[in-house]
Every structure is written in structure tokens, then in C-alpha cells.
């Protein structure tokens, strides 16, 4: 998207924090400057109900009387995971192997952030898919809500089908897959 409004511009930053219960959070631009407000409605327009802290984000920002505010999310990249410990249940699956898996449309059955896991139902399949909180964080999400529509890349784990990646529902449309 090009700058069509005089007080709007595109920038890349990191999510400082986002609280779905409060309905907002803040972004810190890579170029520096003050905090940028990220409202839940702007995030929902992108197709996500939450975003992980420290996720890289590309947005259109508008200056308002109350400060800088994101008006459109263009892209969200998960937080860096190089230093993160491997997730045992994913086995030897690397990023390229996971990215090659098909996106499966699903609806969140339940997710408990405190317990660190939840389940989703993939359309047209009877069994549940397990979602681990670390997979969720590495996918750029902080939380999931019951009934939320997502896309999953699923592997056969030791205990059954398990999400290896979670994406926004409309990711398949955005990515042309």
C-alpha cells in the first residue's frame, strides 16, 4: 500500500505488548520514536484477535491528536525463535518442513493460556488438533478465543494430531494458497 493520506506512513516495528482483554497494545518502531497504539479492531481487520509480544509487525500509522496510531496491519512475523528451545513433540520438523505443510481451516474449540494448550477442530475431520502455547507464540499469537477461525499446519505427533503452526484465518487468501 502506498501513502495515500498525508499524515499516514508505513513502518516496521515490534509489538511492545498487546492485551486482548483491554483491547489494545503498543508497537515500538524500528526507526525509534514514541509508542504507537495498536487497537484490537485494527488487529481484527487483519484477521487476528491477538499478537505475541515482540512479534515483528508492518503497519500503516497515522498521526492523531493523541499520538501515533496503527490504522492498518499489513504483516505480522512471529518473534525470533533462534534462542528458543525446541518443542519436543514437533520432533525434527524444521521451519521449511512445517511451511511446506498444507494450511487446514479450523475453529478453536478452547485454549487456556494458563494451562499452556488448547484444541481446535479442523473442518471435515472428527479428531481434535492439539495447540501448544509455544507453537502459538512462535506463530505470532498471544492467545486464542473459543470459536476463533484459524488455519493450522498439522503434524502427526506422539499423541495425535498437533498444530505445528497457527496462522490467521485469511492467511491462505493473503498468501494465495
Are the C-beta atoms of residues 150 and 130 closer than 8 Å to each other? no
Domain count, the chain: 2
Residues 95 and 151 reside in one and the same domain: yes
Residues 102 and 67 reside in one and the same domain: no
Query: Between the CA atoms of 57, 77, 121 and 46, what dihedral angle is there, to the nearest 10 degrees?
Result: 30
- More confident of the two residues 153 and 77: 153
What is the pLDDT averaged over residues 28-33? 88
Residues 161 and 99 reside in one and the same domain: yes
CATH of the domain at 108: 2.40.50.140
pTM for the model stands at 0.66
Residues 19 and 73 reside in one and the same domain: yes
Rounded-to-integer distance, Cα 21 and Cα 151, Å: 23
For 147-175, what is each residue's pLDDT tens digit? 999 999 999 888 789 999 998 887 656 55
**32 burial level (CB within 10 Å; 0-12, 13-18, 19+):** exposed
1 belongs to a structural domain: no
For 31-76, what is each residue's pLDDT tens digit? 888 899 999 999 989 888 888 888 899 999 998 888 899 999 998 8
- Is the pLDDT at 104 greater than 80? The verdict is yes
Rounded-to-integer distance, Cα 67 and Cα 29, Å: 13
151: nearest Cα among 98, 104, 108, 102: 104
108 belongs to a structural domain: yes
Count the alpha carbons within 13 Å of 16 in the hemisphere toward its beta carbon.
14
Partners of residue 112 on adjacent β-strands: 117
Whole-number mean pLDDT of the chain?
85
Residues contacting residue 135 through CB under 8 Å, at least 6 positions apart:
87, 90, 162, 163, 164, 165, 166
- Which of 28, 55, 77 terminates a domain? The answer is 77
- Cell 512475523 -> residue: 77
Residues 33 and 97 reside in one and the same domain: no
- More confident of the two residues 113 and 37: 37
104 belongs to a structural domain: yes
From the CB of residue 92, how many other CB atoms can be counted at a distance below 10 Å? 6
Quick one: cell of 149?
A: 477461525
What is the C-alpha radius of gyration for the chain, rounded to an integer number of angstroms? 17
- Is the pLDDT at 95 greater than 50? The verdict is yes
Domain interval for residue 162 = 88-175
Amino acid at each position: 500500500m502506498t501513502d495515500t493520506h498525508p499524515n499516514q506512513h508505513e513502518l516496521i516495528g515490534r509489538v511492545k505488548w498487546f492485551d486482548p482483554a483491554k483491547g489494545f497494545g503498543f508497537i515500538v518502531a524500528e526507526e525509534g520514536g514514541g509508542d504507537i497504539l495498536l487497537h484490537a479492531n485494527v488487529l481484527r481487520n487483519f484477521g487476528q484477535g491477538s499478537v505475541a509480544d515482540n512479534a515483528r509487525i508492518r503497519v500503516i500509522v497515522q498521526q492523531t491528536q493523541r499520538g501515533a496510531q496503527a490504522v492498518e496491519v499489513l504483516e505480522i512475523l512471529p518473534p525470533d525463535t533462534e534462542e528458543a528451545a525446541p518443542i519436543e513433540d514437533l520432533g525434527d520438523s524444521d521451519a521449511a518442513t512445517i511451511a511446506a505443510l498444507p494450511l487446514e481451516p479450523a475453529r478453536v474449540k478452547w485454549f487456556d493460556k494458563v494451562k499452556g494448550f488448547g484444541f481446535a477442530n479442523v473442518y471435515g475431520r472428527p479428531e481434535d488438533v492439539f495447540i501448544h502455547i509455544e507453537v502459538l507464540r512462535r506463530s505470532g499469537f498471544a492467545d486464542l478465543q473459543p470459536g476463533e477461525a484459524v488455519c493450522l499446519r498439522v503434524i502427526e505427533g506422539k499423541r495425535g494430531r498437533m498444530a505445528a503452526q497457527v496462522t490467521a484465518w485469511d492467511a491462505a487468501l493473503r498468501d494465495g494458497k
